[in-house]
Structure 1
Amino acid sequence: MSTFINPSTDGRNGTANRTMNATMNATKNGPRHGAGNTSTTKATRRPRLSGMTWLVWRQHRAAFWTILAATVLCVAWMIYQRAQMMDFLNAYGFPAKNLDDAGKQFDPYVGAFSSVTTGLTAIPVILGVLLGAPLLASDLESGTAKLIAAQSVSRNRWLATKLALAGLVVTVTTVTLSAVFAWWWNPIKLQYADIDWTTREFFNTTGPAPVALSLLSVFGGVAIGVILRRTLAAMVVTLGFTVALQAVWGYFKLSLGDIVTATSKPISPGGRITFPEVPRTAHVLDTSYVSGSGKLFDLTTCTDTLSEEATTSCMKKADIVGASIDYIPISQMSSMQWFGASILFALTAGIVAFLFIWGRKRLV
């Protein structure tokens, strides 16, 4: 039976290699027990990692445990902040009282949102650079990949185990953080107009968006590491890749929604213009004047006149009879996130397919 050798100690510490071999054999074969201890073994046996899964977890356990521990701390902090916010809202009389009138009383809780969302939006970048880029690049650089290729386990199984464990840790982390943050924000989500849900601090940290962004960042970093085969270079390039990904995502995310147009009731030309009402938390894209023929005019139209009479005459001449507002309601947020996430998941699947195709001949 072939055995695995810990690449970090190969050629440096023979004792460590023999210990790793013995541990792997014991993990594969299981402990030996006498016939009289069979029932006791069955009663006390617990599920544990073995074989390639154990090896990959042990190799990256520092990174995995750090990610999970940071997630637990962040979740605890958000739970505490939500409890503080709910105490304030109950004492304030929300939702019977409009939260927009709270003014500076609510500023500390908005500040708490800002401090947490700043960290949450950086998670895809951090995971891509610190987990994705070194995941295979370090093995290729140190020669571990050649050592694994010499074992009885196929390269595809080794690669699949690496990607699966990394993907599982990333998914569990981002799903948990996304769910807890959404739970924190949900009580005021539809009522507090001073928070723009389309910003990256809120759109990218709830629903499937953080999961999709993080997985694409991590597996993109893995692909970069496989191509460059140098850990430090892969981390630097991955940093640029993840920042560019965030920028492109931010540029196109509003196009994922359907624009709704609200138009005021037409009046006679030159009359007093009233603007249509839109939902409190809607993201307004554009506001325009509307002529009788349906032509749109910018709000700066007729603002260069010196008197009210001249302004009225100017608007009458332009045949302006109303106003329109283009906006995206917050009710579309979830569908926009899932639509965008499906695109990111598809790109991630393409990168994973590339890694397996490339790994058949070049992953050594």
Structure 2
Amino acid sequence: MSTMTNTDSTGNGSALSDSARTEAGRARGLRLSGMNWLVWRQHRAAYWTLLAATLITVAVIVYQRQQVIAYLDGYGYPRLKSGWEEKFDRGPLDWAAQMLGLLPVLIGVFLGGPLLAGDLETGTAKLVNAQSASRVRWLATKLGMTALVVVVCTAALAAAYTWWWSPVKSSSYVLEWADPAAFDSSGPVPVALSLLTLVGGVAIGMLLRRTLLSMVVTLGFAVVVQMVWSHFRMSLGNIVTVTTHNGVGDNTFPHVPDTAHEMDQSYLTASGDLVGWGSCAEQTSEKATNACLDKAQVVGWSVDYIPMSQMSSMQWLGSSILLALTAGIAVFVILWGRKRLV
């Protein structure tokens, strides 16, 4: 009798124990553990700040987009009537674009620069190195988790801004697509620029080992990246050239799409050579100007432009180059840190 009771009791206890272990395992599966938990807890203030700022900004953009649509509905959106641009307030779009343009710099300085420099300066890196986890795993977790948070936030902001701008994207009055405010704030570009400055800041912090100094140098690095990117951005497109042979008087300028970004315009000579359009501008009279044009044998115009249809391909091509540079720096951080970090 007692044996049966014990058997039943043991069986029930075993079943309950298995059930409890299963539930506990599920609960643990929903939480970070090990190195992931350590990295998140160490940098949770920066992560949560970035995530919260992103959430608030996206909410503001959603509201602003509703305001834009409400205004455009009065002009027959999506087929807009003429005159809608006169009272359209482009200020919020400009302001948001400027803020998004600063985002890669802020991420590099305040998140990338101190990421490893702080641990190396305070000695935390030596403590972690004394544990069972390898340096490579520690570096990979720090880079991976931080990059994931940055990608989620910047992708959300870029998608929201692109969605906000899309109803008036075809109007150069609001924002010209080739302008840095529009080109660098939409599509994949904000993500790629932010990752490059982030990983570049991490590499700088690893080499300098001082938090404040790393942040200052990272600021310079981020500014240089922005300047170089601005210089080469338009070279990512395929230039379209149109010419005329009807002289350079009234109504002779070649047709260029309204949304196209004009790269250059020149006079076309009879021999096919190009002459700068300002070469005869210094003449004091129309007669002298015509004489100058006749002397150069100018027969028409030549205009180089990039159509708006290339914007998306240019953004993805440029982003792939930036991401390739980011990957190269990340590999350097892992290889250098594996042997020389501490």
Please give the TM-score of this superposition, normalised by the length of structure 2: 0.90
Task: Give the distance between the partners of 2:94 and 2:315, measured in 1 at CA.
Answer: 21
1:301-320 mapped onto 2 (5 Å cutoff): 301-320=279-298
Partner SS, residue 102 of structure 1: coil
Q: Tell me, yes or no, if structure 1 residue 292 matches structure 2 residue 274.
A: no
Q: Determine the structure 2 residue equivalent to 1:138.
A: 118
Match of 2:305? 327
Gaps of 5+ in 1: 1-32
What residue number does 1:82 align with? Answer: 65
Instruction: Tell me, yes or no, if the aligned pair for 2:72 and 2:80 is still in contact at 8 Å.
Output: no
Instruction: Name the aligned partner's letter for residue 340 of structure 2.
Output: R
1:54 aligns with 2:34: no
In the TM superposition, 1:197-276 aligns within 5 A as 197-264=177-244, 266-267=245-246, 274-276=252-254
Residue aligning to 1:64: 47
Query: % of aligned pairs identical?
Result: 54
304-313 or 57-66, which deviates more:
304-313
1:350 Cα shift?
1.0
Which residue of 1 is the match for residue 255 of structure 2?
Answer: 277
Residues 117-157 of structure 1 show CA distances to partners (whole Å, capped at 9, x for unaligned) of 11101110001011111111111111111111111111111
2:155 & 2:322 partners in 1: Cα distance?
16
- How big is each residue's C-alpha offset from its partner over 1:177-208, in whole Å with a ceiling of 9 and x where there is no partner? 11111111111112344522122211111111
Letter of the aligned partner of 1:278 in structure 2? V
Structure 2 CA distance, aligned partners of 1:305 and 1:53?
71
Instruction: State the distance in 1 between where 2:68 and 2:57 align.
Output: 16
Per-residue CA distance 1:282-307 (angstroms, 9 max, x = gap)? 11111112122212222234444454
Which shifted more, 342-351 or 76-85?
Answer: 342-351
Report if aligned partners of 1:178, 1:205 keep a CA contact under 8 Å in 2: yes
Which residue is equivalent to 1:357?
335
Secondary structure of residue in 1 paired with 2:204: helix
Of residues 140, 143, 158, the one that matches 1:163 is 143
Cα deviation 1:253-276 (Å, max 9, x = unaligned) = 111111111112x23x68656111
Quote the residue 1:13 is aligned against. Answer: none
2:222 partner letter:
T
Equivalent residue for 1:191? Answer: 171
- 311-320 or 119-128, which moves further after superposition? 311-320
SS of alignment partner, residue 352 of structure 1: helix
CA distance in 1, matches of 2:114, 2:76: 51
Distance 1:185 1:103, change over 3 A: closer
- SS of 2:216's partner is helix
Question: Residues of 2 paired with 1:89 and 1:192: CA distance?
Answer: 16
1:273 touches 1:323 (CA, 8 Å); kept in 2?
A: no
The question of whether the paired residues in 1 share the 8 Å contact of 2:188 and 2:319 is answered with yes
- Indicate whether 1:347 and 2:332 are aligned: no
Q: Which amino acid aligns with 2:124?
A: T
Q: Which residue of 1 aligns with 2:6?
A: none
SS of 2:74's equivalent? helix
- State the 1:359 CA deviation: 1.1
CA distance in 2, matches of 1:96, 1:147: 64
SS at match of 2:40: helix
User: Contact between 1:191 and 1:281, CA under 8 Å: does it hold in 2?
Assistant: yes
How many residue pairs get aligned? The number is: 327
| Aligned counterparts of 1:194 and 1:164: Cα–Cα separation in 2 | 38
CA RMSD of aligned residues (A): 2.0
Compute the displacement of 1:329 (Å).
Answer: 1.0
Q: Which residue of 1 aligns with 2:10?
A: none
TM-score, normalization: structure 1?
0.84
Cα 1:270–1:126 change in 2 (3 A) is: closer
For residue 84 of structure 2, give the secondary structure of its aligned residue in structure 1: helix
Amino acid at match of 1:334: S
Deviation at 1:217, TM superposition (A): 0.3
Q: CA deviation at 1:230?
A: 0.7
Displacement of 1:327: 0.8
Could you tell me which residue of structure 2 aligns to residue 12 of structure 1?
A: none
Aligned equivalents of 1:203, 1:321: Cα separation in 2:
36
